[in-house]
């Protein structure tokens, strides 16, 4: 699933390839996946996209906010899949669940592997969107100081009493971190994913904050993880320390074998020595 570093890179590439180019066609596949989130009225796509131009693309958590010259927004996000740019003569991906065609016959193709959104919205609809409408700050937002981070940890109601894994991947708290980058963040911070937010001391909170920013900075510098691909099919160069490839390997800090655990609906990779179970 693409997370904030991948979204940042895709936004940059879209700014370089599709800005100010007239949209001449849009297709939504009839056999799209069950969890592809689209407009309820499929007629909205040609009515609201054709003859418009994308004027800006901004990363927001796990969402690409594409602003149109009509004042509306094309929202592409929460994407467990691929976003591909195809020139006029390029062969489309085998699975193409949404296709935008531009004036030179280039296409932007959305392929959903599990879930993802492709919606055209008004500003009001965006503000009320269940995922994009009420997001917390992105991990590197200038306003997300350590003090602000601590305030979020303390004042998010029920979320402030949950395990740190659940807290960190909830977009309403911090937008853009999924299970992929979280593994490295928690490893750097020497925190077990089962730790409850109230149990974190000030020094552990600072470690978590620094680990989050360092990991996300490195992910952006690498143009995303090596398991995700950009608009042109090129994988990123950021190699996570903690993913399925780490299982059974020695911890780079202490040499203990990395373990895989299942927790809160997903796999976690931890060093049992550096990240002791609470």
pTM, two decimals, is 0.95
**pLDDT value, residue 129:** 85
pLDDT bucket at 115, cuts 50 / 70 / 90 = very high
Strands (E), 61-210: 63-68, 73-86, 98-102, 107-121
| Distance (Å, whole) CA 37 – CA 176 | 18
Pick the CATH number of 146-240 from 1.50.10.100, 3.40.47.10, 1.10.8.50, 3.40.50.720: 1.10.8.50
pLDDT over threshold 80, residue 130: no
On the question of pLDDT at 131 being above 90, the answer is no
| CATH 1.10.8.50 location in the chain | 146-240
Q: 4-127 has which fold?
A: N-terminal domain of MutM-like DNA repair proteins (3.20.190)
Cα atoms found within 13 Å of the Cα of residue 156, Cβ hemisphere only: 25
Domain with CATH 3.20.190.10 in the chain: 4-127
Note whether 131 and 98 are within 8 A (CB).
no
């Amino acid at each position: 699933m693409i997370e904030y570093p991948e979204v940042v890179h895709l936004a940059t590439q879209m700014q370089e390839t599709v800005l100010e180019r007239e949209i001449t066609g849009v297709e939504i596949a009839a056999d799209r996946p069950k969890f592809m989130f689209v407009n309820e009225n499929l007629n909205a796509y040609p009515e609201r996209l054709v003859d418009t131009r994308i004027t800006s693309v901004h990363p927001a958590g796990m969402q690409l906010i594409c602003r149109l010259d009509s004042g509306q927004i094309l929202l592409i996000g929460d994407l467990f899949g691929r976003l591909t740019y195809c020139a006029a003569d390029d062969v489309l991906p085998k699975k193409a669940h949404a296709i935008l065609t531009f004036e030179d016959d280039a296409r932007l193709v959305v392929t959903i592997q599990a879930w993802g959104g492709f919606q055209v919205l008004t500003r009001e609809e965006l503000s009320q969107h269940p995922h994009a409408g009420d997001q917390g700050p992105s991990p590197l937002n200038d306003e997300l100081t350590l003090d602000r981070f601590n305030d979020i940890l303390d004042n998010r109601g029920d979320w402030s009493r949950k395990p740190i894994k659940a807290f960190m991947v909830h977009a309403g708290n911090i937008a853009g971190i999924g299970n992929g980058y979280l593994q490295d963040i928690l490893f750097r911070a020497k925190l077990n994913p089962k730790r409850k937010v109230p149990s974190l001391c000030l020094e552990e909170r600072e470690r978590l904050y620094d680990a989050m920013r360092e990991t996300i900075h490195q992910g952006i510098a690498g143009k995303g993880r090596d398991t995700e691909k950009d608009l042109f099919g090129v994988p990123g160069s950021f190699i996570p320390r903690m993913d399925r490839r780490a299982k059974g390997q020695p911890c780079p800090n202490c040499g203990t074998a990395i373990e895989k655990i299942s927790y809160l609906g997903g796999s976690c990779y931890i060093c049992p020595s550096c990240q002791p179970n609470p």
